[in-house]
Structure 1
Amino acid sequence: MWPKHVNWKDLRFGVEIEFIGGRPAEVELPPGWVMSLDELQVDESGDDSGSELKTPPMLWAAREQIRVMLDRLLANGARMNWSCGLHVHIGIEPWGEAMVLPLVDAALACQEALRSLLTMSEHRLIYCPSVTPEMKNDYLRDPRQEALHRPGRPQSHRCGINASAWYDIGTVEIRYANGSLDYDEILHAVELCLRFVAAVGEGRKLRDTPAELADALGAPRTGYPPPRAIPRWYRERTWLDDALIPAVSELAEQLVPGGEILHILPVQDGLLLGIEAGDGKLRRYVCAPPATGWRVVRQADAPR
């Protein structure tokens, strides 16, 4: 049922904390917590590193659990850099599917303000693209999860205000926050997301500038995870992606029909092409560009 007033502190939430370094497999986890060891970030040398720690669904009153786990991560050697993000899931069960369209409308009205308030690093936009009017129109014609996917690059099904998560786990996912291992920064981001979703659920008209949005929600204007500069080599890697994707798109479609190119990396015997399939699994192939066209040298690993 929508609209309906729900106190933001009564909404369940979960946090996905990306980090580099440490020994993630050795971190002691309380019941319900998950260490996604296959979710790797990029360290300063360009190597895969770290993991993603996921909280269980929790209420604001139980937030101290996050401090305990951050202390464990830091003691284990975890670090933060530009490749890490912080994703906040807010349960929208009090409203159900009726909340999906209001979230899309709220995104169209103030997603840029929310992104700016959270001081999102520009290079992270590929991981949290904007909701578009075309997506809303498609959903109105045929309400379904696929209408909330943004195909191609930037990545689909992962908009910055990701209402499609309702159909998977009963949440809306807000992906704008930069990575952090600081308790206060993370809690500021969580509080903002909780207040935002509660306001949408109440049917309130939200403001479209960062300061006005924060004030209307009663959320802090500052104190969110800060942006981190990316090194020159990483910026060049993104330029390489942008330049090569049009050239390999046809090959990628042949290898993984309907898949998305996530990255193209130079390796000793060619280019490593990472393609995410519709099931969320990553396929990786090493390809080489002979004079007559692209060819697959080898599959780099078994599908994960």
Structure 2
Amino acid sequence: MNLKERKKNMWPKKVNWKELRFGVEIEFIGGNPENCALLPGWVMALDEKQIDETGAASGSELQSPPIQWEDKEQIREMLSRLQAQGASANWSCGLHVHIGLEHWGEAVILPLIEAALLYQQTLQALFNTSRHRLIFCPPVTGEMHQRFLLNQDPEALRHRGRPQSHRCGINAAPWFDIGTVEIRYANGSLNYDQVLNTIELCLRFVAAVGEDRKLSSDPQEMAIELGAPHEGYPVSVPIPQWFRERTWLEEALIPVITPLAAELVENGEIHHLLPVPDGILVAIEKSDGTLSQYVLQPPSTGWQLVRQLL
């Protein structure tokens, strides 16, 4: 078993998936998030904006408190309140589920990493994750697994690359902060049945890992083995052409601007780029998660700093 006998035999352990605590993060556009009445414990993360069809920052991210399956009517109520305000989910939105690991403790982290290596593509296929959203849920790698074996540290679970992509699709790093694993593959939705199906699959999957069950790598077979819905998850929505072109522009410019970004913000990584009237806005994420924003101009002799935004 090793790793201190899986932390004194806390793993494996059979736990009913309905007994697991979870939290859900619901991204949306539109509505009136500043004035949405919240149930006790629910949080509106007003700084978590999405992108509407015009390219403007819009909506927010609604976050539930830790709840259990028997509390699911809270989700129905909050979705109804969002929809009553005119909120919706589009191609820029995602749906993330945090599952509490208190039944197993740290003993389950390595099994979750190993399960990710085996089944992450299967979950991605079941959720039909939109291709443009994969930057927000990159795969766990063998290198990460080896790093964690050497050093049981959250940094070992951080995907290397742009800040949007540091949280893997099966993200075990939150264990070290809030005691959860986060599953990030689902597309955005405000449809109650689709949200519930997503949560159920995540809960059943984590319970299976906690029990050390071996699963099929075929999506439909896995759903059958877990007893989870094999369909009815948030649909994949195509991105508009203008956003596709913005992505191409980012991908072309990031390698060019990265050296200057490293000079402007020590150990920073480019978060996003946007064209603005006097140049290119470059948002750089610091190691603590805060953003610094600069406007750069590309004259013929090289990039020139125009101004820093507060």
TM range (shorter): over 0.9
CA offset digits 1:249-291 (Å, max 9, x no partner) = 1111122222222211101011111122211222221111122
Instruction: Indicate yes or no: 2:223 matched with 1:214.
Output: yes
In the other structure, the counterpart of 2:255 is 246
2:49 alignment partner in structure 1: 40
TM-score (norm 2): 0.95
Alignment match, 2:35? 26
Task: Give the 5 Å matches for 1:11-22.
Answer: 11-22=20-31
AA aligned to 2:252 is A
1:169-188 equivalent positions in 2, closer than 5 A = 169-188=178-197
2: CA distance, partners of 1:146 / 1:78: 36
- Does the CA contact (< 8 Å) of 1:135 and 1:148 recur in 2? yes
Equivalent residue runs for 1:90-239 within 5 Å: 90-153=99-162, 155-239=164-248
2:222 corresponds to which letter in structure 1?
L
Q: Deviations over 1:140-183 (max 9, x none)?
A: 11111000001113734310000001111110000000000000
The answer to which of 34-43 and 146-155 deviates more is 146-155
Q: Check conservation: 2:183, 2:202, Cα contact below 8 A.
A: yes
Gaps of 5+ in 2: 1-9
Count how many residue pairs are aligned between Structure 1 and Structure 2. 301
**1:112-151 residue CA offsets vs partner (Å, 9 max, x unmatched):** 0001101110100000100000000111111110000011
User: What amino acid is aligned across from residue 309 of structure 2 in structure 1?
Assistant: A
Distance 2:302 2:75 in 1: 51
Q: Name the SS of the counterpart of 2:187 in structure 1.
A: coil
User: Does the alignment pair 1:61 with 2:60?
Assistant: no
Runs of 4+ in structure 1 off by over 6 angstroms are: none
- Hey, what's the Cα distance between the residues in 1 that align with 2:154 and 2:69? 28
Query: Unaligned stretches of 5+ in structure 1?
Result: none
* Residue identity (%): 63
Contact 2:127–2:186 (CA under 8 A) maintained in structure 1: yes
Alignment partner of 2:269 out of 246, 260, 264: 260
* Superposed CA RMSD: 1.1
